[in-house]
Structure 1
């Protein structure tokens, strides 16, 4: 039985959406078979699945990169299930989608227990069955619903059972390979350092082939969604090597974190003046690679401190994409103030009122007021920083102040400045409940 009504699936317009985690080519290929609207429904459903799995199995979380891995797995799995239901192609059910397979391997490398991985599979299957049952009520004539629902349920159960078996096989194979690898030993040492567990510095130096007793600059590197044919791992390694070359401080320590993310430590140069500008202008980065830089810090404790700063900078950079390099020292206020994203959003809307609205014009007014206050109410300095005329700054500041709630206009300048800094980092993004997860320890 094929279920042609699946072509009528439409996403819920009242629910937030976000860019797919799977590659654009995979989305396009699925749209050719299913149609663009069913694909959008599938992606929306898959991201709801990921949110539920993350809530029930928090081991899958720990920051933006692990979340992206989970989303790639759920998105590719839902698309494969829809194709199977629509086309009755047995070939779609006897193997894992490439993105789900790589995610499974990553779960093994991260040490997520197999029973927790399979718990996520079961939760996802239950959510997909529930969503399709609701769709049957909406798109299938009343007299056919019982038969259609029975068929959907049976086929999904068979698919999920085979899927779980393939997941288990792939997980065990990767776990066994990983346990005996040098890469696993290096990752275990890094995990000990990041968890602040006692580590013998000399042993760590030998295993990591990196001096942990010096002053460090940590970074997180990741690849944006791009059609570049060069694998993400190669582009990340190229950029890591280029960073070390720019600093001239020797070979970096690079630890793969996910398929398209790497953790990096470099020895900080003696002269830190203008460091960020030197890296921005002098680094031969690979296409699509972005970087979050932590603060310089010394010794084994400094490796942990700088790494956590880099991951906070990564979180801010993923919330508000901009420059390819984000320095923690430039965004630490926003990082601190958005540690609780929902509370931060309430604070911004309470303080800014209509000035917190979406739109390029309001954003321009908001940024002008932010720079004007940061420049101690100097029209000349603000105009210079914004590259506009003083009269333009005067007009924009006046218009921005008119949009502020009366309580804010008469209130604390410190609170207003903080709200504007937070808004610069996070406003304009669609709240998904997924994109702003706190970082887990380590």
Structure 2
């Protein structure tokens, strides 16, 4: 939740109700995604869903606080934007409304549990009845507004050039055949060249230009930095966009090097790069790799640019996050524990092994004394399970790389 929104909600409702709302919204989002998988589809759609459920729960709490008998404008901008995104993605309206019903059922259940816990016994029945009446009116108005917004956005989207361009991209990314000449004309981009894909993602900041403007500006700046022969930018959500840059045939330096050398970090925008690839199939390959790089980048916000070439091993190893977590726990044992000290020991051992056990080079990379490296490596090795000490060095290095990405 953006800080300004959290502060405003806390001022009106109080800190404890806001915390309750955020926790309830997280459970709500997980249940909706489990029952209606179409609501997901990547990190950005999940962020949109979480923002939508949080704002919906807070809106309901505001309604209960004011006890307004007939809610008129109950849908927040976050829930409406989520609804518009579903329309643009082609999620059927009945699936959208199924998610709305699931969310309201979870909210009613958790409010009833809160009443059971906090309201005196002799007042519970009256309180439950009042909450049920208000929630019924809220749910009815919310579903109606969501349906109206969905239909309006769907009709607008179907008649737009943007929708036609997105349909071509969806076919490309699904691996379906496309008419190359027709696609090139509609996209205004030659899909038969060598290009590199990127996923651009905006932070949820309160200040500064709107997200679409920042994404457009960043894309244009990146295109100039790599001397791109063409640029294709497709909005994905309200805060993310998909970018393809056509590369010159004579270019020998990788696009990531150009971008890091030529650009200052764009304010509030992160970019994840796929590898250069050729033709329509190459557009798909590079984009899917950029999505994986974006997933890894979410765990490390220190750098504005994440290149798939730098993280592809970790991306492959963490494709199943739960299995990756188990692997790290098995290989590192106590060294996988939380805390700054464990993080320091893991990072020292990781750098030491990546430098082929070179104390001097590891110390230079970590900006510490050689004796410090020696001590930390010894302590880290003492924490490793016995089976790891005698085991495969490749597994140890991989576990350290995964931990560095996922835990820091």
- Tell me if both proteins adopt one fold, taking TM over 0.5 as the criterion: yes
In structure 2, how many angstroms separate the alpha carbons of the residues matched to 1:397 and 1:136?
54
Runs of at least 4 residues of structure 1 off by over 6 A?
none
- Determine helix, strand or coil for the equivalent of 1:252: strand
Query: In 1, are the aligned partners of 2:227 and 2:247 still within 8 Å (CA)?
Result: no
Match of 1:53?
Answer: 32
In structure 2, how many angstroms separate the alpha carbons of the residues matched to 1:163 and 1:131?
18
Match of 2:215?
Answer: 236
Match of 1:6?
Answer: none
Q: Give yes or no for the alignment of 1:309 onto 2:284.
A: no
Change over 3 Å in CA distance of 1:380–1:396 after alignment to 2: same
Match of 2:386?
Answer: 406
In structure 1, how many angstroms separate the alpha carbons of the residues matched to 2:385 and 2:123?
56
Q: Give yes or no for the alignment of 1:331 onto 2:308.
A: no
Q: Give yes or no for the alignment of 1:246 onto 2:225.
A: yes
Q: Once the 2 structures are TM-superposed, how far is the Cα of residue 91 of structure 1 from its aligned partner? A: 8.2
Query: In 2, are the aligned partners of 1:76 and 1:99 still within 8 Å (CA)?
Result: yes
In structure 2, how many angstroms separate the alpha carbons of the residues matched to 1:148 and 1:199?
59
In structure 2, how many angstroms separate the alpha carbons of the residues matched to 1:93 and 1:404?
60
Match of 2:269?
Answer: 289
Query: In 2, are the aligned partners of 1:84 and 1:93 still within 8 Å (CA)?
Result: no
Q: Give yes or no for the alignment of 1:214 onto 2:214.
A: no
Q: Once the 2 structures are TM-superposed, how far is the Cα of residue 310 of structure 1 from its aligned partner? A: 0.3
- Determine helix, strand or coil for the equivalent of 2:356: coil
Which of the numbers 27, 34, 42 marks the counterpart of 2:6?
A: 27
Match of 1:108?
Answer: 87
In structure 2, how many angstroms separate the alpha carbons of the residues matched to 1:364 and 1:335?
23
Match of 2:240?
Answer: 261
Match of 2:355?
Answer: 375
In structure 2, how many angstroms separate the alpha carbons of the residues matched to 1:99 and 1:123?
18
Query: In 2, are the aligned partners of 1:241 and 1:251 still within 8 Å (CA)?
Result: no
Query: In 1, are the aligned partners of 2:67 and 2:134 still within 8 Å (CA)?
Result: no
Q: Give yes or no for the alignment of 1:277 onto 2:262.
A: no
Q: Once the 2 structures are TM-superposed, how far is the Cα of residue 400 of structure 1 from its aligned partner? A: 0.8
Query: In 2, are the aligned partners of 1:242 and 1:285 still within 8 Å (CA)?
Result: no
In structure 2, how many angstroms separate the alpha carbons of the residues matched to 1:187 and 1:113?
17
Change over 3 Å in CA distance of 1:93–1:364 after alignment to 2: farther
Match of 2:166?
Answer: 187
Change over 3 Å in CA distance of 1:363–1:91 after alignment to 2: farther
Q: TM-score, normalising length from structure 1?
A: 0.90
Structure 1 segment 355-370 matched on structure 2, within 5 A:
355-370=335-350
List runs of 5+ in structure 1 lacking aligned partners: 1-19, 429-442
In structure 1, how many angstroms separate the alpha carbons of the residues matched to 2:155 and 2:24?
33
- Determine helix, strand or coil for the equivalent of 1:323: coil
Q: Give yes or no for the alignment of 1:391 onto 2:371.
A: yes
Q: Once the 2 structures are TM-superposed, how far is the Cα of residue 228 of structure 1 from its aligned partner? A: 2.1
Q: Deviations over 1:52-91 (max 9, x none)?
A: 0000000011110010111111111100000000112468
Q: TM-score, normalising length from structure 2?
A: 0.97
Match of 1:96?
Answer: 75
Q: State the aligned residue count.
A: 407
Q: Once the 2 structures are TM-superposed, how far is the Cα of residue 94 of structure 1 from its aligned partner? A: 2.3
Structure 1 segment 62-101 matched on structure 2, within 5 A:
62-89=41-68, 93-101=72-80
Q: Give yes or no for the alignment of 1:171 onto 2:150.
A: yes
Q: Once the 2 structures are TM-superposed, how far is the Cα of residue 274 of structure 1 from its aligned partner? A: 5.0
List runs of 5+ in structure 2 lacking aligned partners: none
Q: Deviations over 1:25-65 (max 9, x none)?
A: 22221111101121111011011100000000000111100
In structure 2, how many angstroms separate the alpha carbons of the residues matched to 1:379 and 1:160?
64
Q: Give yes or no for the alignment of 1:299 onto 2:302.
A: no
